[in-house]
Amino acid sequence: MWQSFLAALSFLTIFPVPADWLKGQEDRATQGYSILFYPLIGLLLGLVLLASIFFLSVFDSLLASALLVMVWVVVTGALHLDGLADTADAWLGGHGDRDKTLSILKDTHVGVAAIVAIVLLLIIKILALNDINSNLLLAVLVTPILARTAVIGLLLTTNYVRANGIAEKLTLAMPRQLAWAMVAAVGLLALVVLQWKAIYILVSIVLAVFLYRILLVRRLGGTTGDTAGALIEIIEVLVLLDFAAVEFLAS
């Protein structure tokens, strides 16, 4: 299990993990069990962001929000933004064709749709963070956890369509019962921590994953590593918007 945690840590973040500690991470079971640690990696990211807020509090709120998003991107190595960029390019350039969409997903070049998607997402993240006041610490802590839990739900319910893809080992060897238990546990913890706000936030996440899955199945027949990564960014923005909306309604 330790190897699985390190595999998840090295994959989802830029945190340095000594090479000797990663021996055996290519093992099928290790890769599969690493998915169970995605929410924990989200918690670690949330703690880093909380610490960053403390140091960034000397700046104006909008600038602090922008710098916080920069830390967010750097710590994750822009991995999920890359998935979002590839997904946006493929969706626009694929013109509804499955094979063309999959081909563009593999292309390393960046198109207009990718740039627009990344810019808009980062702007919305910054503005959403700037609008959250009393719940900012809570939002920053739980958002990465919920987003990485949501991707477990996607992988549990959606076929992986690309042979030899980056996430193929993960999905094939994923312990499904434990993964479902992890999703349920995070949901219950969210209800305890967020109380009434959890209902609004969790319903929006489930609905977003459901609709996103429909789009993926109709176009591709399932998901890929890029589209799964894109979901993490989408859910993070959604949860931040939920917090901003809840705070506005409560004011």
DSSP string, 40-101: HHHHHHHHHHHHHHHHHTTS-HHHHHHHHHHHHHHHTTTHHHHHHHHHHHHHHHTTT-HHHH
Look at residue 177 in the predicted model and tell me its pLDDT: 93
pLDDT on residue 165: 60
Q: Which residues of the chain have pLDDT under 70?
A: 18-29, 163-169, 251
pLDDT of residue 105: 87
pLDDT at 20: 63
Domain ranges within the chain, ordered by starting residue? 2-15+28-250
Q: What are phi and psi of 25, to 5 degrees?
A: -70, -15
pLDDT score recorded for residue 249 = 78
Predicted local confidence at residue 3, as pLDDT = 78
Predicted model pTM = 0.93
Q: What is the pLDDT of residue 163?
A: 66
Query: Which pLDDT score, from 0 to 100, does residue 229 have?
Result: 94
Rounded Cα gap, residues 251 and 248, in angstroms: 5
Residue 124 CA, chain-centre distance (Å), reads 16
